[in-house]
Structure 1
Amino acid sequence: MDIYNLDEVPAFTTKDGSEIRELLAHRNSAIRQQSLAEARIPIGRQTIAHYHKLTEEIYYITQGTAEMNIDGEVRNVTVGDAIAIPPGATHQITNIGAVELRLLCCCAPAYEDHDTILME
């Protein structure tokens, strides 16, 4: 049985510049086709605009307020919002709130740096 607590998972920085805590993926569990991670973005910061050739993502906001840009369409998002990001869609999220932005990132197939193409 694979169970990991968010407070015990080490953080790392992804290619897009976000701080990630990978909870479940093929690297640490029996999960093979997807991954679940928490991303944290400081006040006033943003990820580097990027896309994934293969991976589709779901962002689920758990803390804060952000501006979400997907292929040039921009919307404000907040706690409780789930955002669909299809493969090939250029996306960037900016923390526009007064607290650290936290979001869950669900990826299928699992997140891999080599599938992340930076736009800058």
Structure 2
Amino acid sequence: MSLIRNSEIESIQGNEGTSIKQFFHPHNTLEGIGYSLAQFTLEPEKKSKLHKMKSSEIYYILEGKANLRIDDSTMELGKDDSAYVPPNAKQSIENIGDDNLRFLCIVEPAWKAEDEIILE
């Protein structure tokens, strides 16, 4: 069994100005999972860089409001909404609320730096 406590995870700064807490990833899980789970925080009026990944991704909004761009479509997401991003889709997320946007991302197969391409 692997137990990860939010209070024990140090945040790192992502390339797009997000604060990231990596909960589960194959490198820190004894059971050999094939996905990764991370929590992101994005301040008001901030936006991730347009990027694409070889992996599929699921966003789950914990708090705040966002515009999620997937290829040529944009959808508004709020608390408890989720969205699927297929592999190799152009994507970015923008905080459109007055408070921090906090969301979870599940990436499968697990996130690897070499699988992500920044497009802007």
Fold conserved between structures, TM > 0.5:
yes
Residue 74 of structure 1 is matched in structure 2 by: 74
Identity of aligned residues (%): 30
What is the CA-CA distance between 1:12 and the residue it aligns to? 1.3
Give structure 1 stretches of 5+ with no counterpart: none
TM-score between both structures, scaled by the size of structure 1 = 0.93
Pairing 1:3-82 to 2, within 5 Å after superposition: 3-30=3-30, 31-53=32-54, 55-82=55-82
Q: Distance in 2 between matches of 1:19 and 1:110?
A: 18
TM-score between both structures, scaled by the size of structure 2 = 0.93
Q: Report SS of the residue matched to 1:80.
A: coil
Letter in 2 for 1:39: F
Q: Distance in 1 between matches of 2:15 and 2:52?
A: 11
What is the CA-CA distance between 1:114 and the residue it aligns to? 1.2
Contact 1:16 1:47 in 2 (8 A): yes
Measured on the aligned residues, the alpha-carbon RMSD in Å equals: 1.1
Give structure 2 stretches of 5+ with no counterpart: none
Contact 1:15 1:113 in 2 (8 A): no
What is the CA-CA distance between 1:15 and the residue it aligns to? 3.6
Q: Distance in 2 between matches of 1:108 and 1:12?
A: 21
Q: Report SS of the residue matched to 2:28.
A: coil
What is the CA-CA distance between 1:26 and the residue it aligns to? 1.3
Shift in alpha-carbon separation, 1:27–1:17, aligned structure 2, 3 A: farther
Equivalent pairs, count: 119
